[in-house]
Amino acid sequence: MLTENQITELKREYIEDIRKTVIAFANTDGGQIYIGVEKDGSVCGIRDIDDTMLRITNSIRDAIRPDVTLFTECRTEKMEDQTVVVVSVQRGTARPYYLTSKGVRPEGVFVRQGPSSVPASETAILSMIKETSGDRYEIARSLNQQLTFVSANAYFKKKKVAFGDAQKKTLQLIGEDNTYTNLALLLSEQCVHTIKLAVFEGSKKTVFKDRYEFTGSLLKQLEDVYAFIDRYNSTKAEFKRLDRIDKRDYPTDAIRETLLNAIIHRAYELSPSTLINIFEDRIEFVTIGGLMKGLSLNDIMLGVSALRNPYLAGIFYRLHLIEAFGTGMPKITECYSDFSVKPNIELSDNAFKITLPNTNFHSVQNEKSELSDREERVMNLFESKDSIVRKDVERILEISQATAITLLREMTEKNLLKKIGQGKNLKYCLQKHFSE
């Protein structure tokens, strides 16, 4: 007599819960469902065989994802002169299988425990995904299958790149089992990974000026974060004879490449957010995920590339956001080739930080360090006022009118000061303050 156990399930008649048992068998060690057999093992048989088999096969095909029909067989058997329907289920190769209506969540994924089909824990689900997809986060099946791509559709359209179902499969957003991958999750509105940005007063993490967390599709985060940083990338004007030269605090290409680097090379299997900190003298980009095994800092500075997320990088390449793999760090370094300050990279086992120095800030500091004692004392006057006049200089330095005029003329020629007005109304402002 039949009894229920790890690989056997008994049903008096067809009910929808059979789908859960099919899923549990496919996710565990396989098994058989006998329809037309009571729980105590007595055979009652099935009257309408054809209708029952049709309902079973349709239910398995329509209600379970990924497609498990290749691992199931529905047949009839004679038992004690009665006809019963037997559904044989093999252990599937695309685990976890789940109810389409519930998704890859405990309420939709079932496993076999003894004679019962029970919801799988999140740990068990992740273990099945890793077992069938390997260690590649990008191509593993997304736990969330209810994804939308409003931002991604708009971005692909703007770049004049097709983004239909066929392209999603080619780009690895849809896997071989026709389910969304984690790569699709990253480009969807449901992306669970964020970028946190903070702006600090001065050069220490003491006083917050602004903070924000960017969410949604990585493509939207990329645009939003760049626009936010650009607001703090001030412009300083310098004058050489009649020519005005505008210099931004940070080379825009360096910011762009560093931000792309942080997004493309992040270890998305880890949950902490990417961090961007803006100070008076620098911007720090802290990305989760250390260097790929086998690579050194010298390697990546030379342009050697080992991609943690090759399919994500491929999408960014197709969208013309990156020109070639491995060129990011050399480009960032090149952006600072004409400056005395250089980007700095710090590494740990699970993170790396790229620091971009504020070129204008360090230029001013260098200028101050090269000032004569008299010039420095004049510059200090601006700590308490926006403009000064000649008499302020005469008083603070205890010098004659002629000497003060000569000193102010020299500081103006050095682009340290800017004349405003003339005659009795003549005053002096800091060149940096005036240009802003």
279-314 per-position pLDDT tens digit: 999 999 999 887 766 666 676 666 666 678 999 999
Between CA 17 and CA 189 the distance in angstroms is 33
Write down the CATH number for the domain with range 371-435. 1.10.10.10
Q: Is the pLDDT of residue 86 over 60?
A: yes
User: Which tens digits make up the pLDDT trace of 388-398?
Assistant: 999 999 999 99
User: Which tens digits make up the pLDDT trace of 365-407?
Assistant: 555 556 788 888 898 898 888 899 999 999 999 999 999 999 9
Q: Phi first, then psi: what are they for 5, rounded to 5°?
A: -155, -160
Considering only CA atoms, which of 302, 227, 292 is closest in space to residue 264? 292
Between CA 288 and CA 273 the distance in angstroms is 7
8-132: CATH class: alpha beta
Query: For 158-167, 230-239, 259-268, 331-340, which range has the lowest pLDDT when averaged over its residues?
Result: 230-239
User: Whole-number mean pLDDT of the chain?
Assistant: 88
Between CA 215 and CA 222 the distance in angstroms is 10
CA 337 vs CA 251, 253, 332: distances in Å? 11, 13, 9
Q: Choose which CATH entry (1.10.260.40, 3.30.750.24, 3.30.2270.10, 3.30.565.60) describes domain 195-362.
A: 3.30.565.60
Between CA 224 and CA 196 the distance in angstroms is 12
Q: Enter the tokens of residue 10.
A: 């008994």
Q: Where are the domains of the chain?
A: 8-132, 195-362, 371-435
User: Which tens digits make up the pLDDT trace of 31-82?
Assistant: 999 999 999 999 999 989 999 999 999 999 999 988 999 999 999 999 999 9
Burial 336-364 (b: 16+ CB within 10 A, else e): beeeebebeeeeeeebbbbbbbbbbbbbb
User: Which tens digits make up the pLDDT trace of 240-263?
Assistant: 555 666 788 999 999 999 999 999
> Do 407 and 393 touch, CB atoms closer than 8 A?
yes
How sure is the predictor about 434, in pLDDT bands with cuts at 50, 70 and 90?
very low
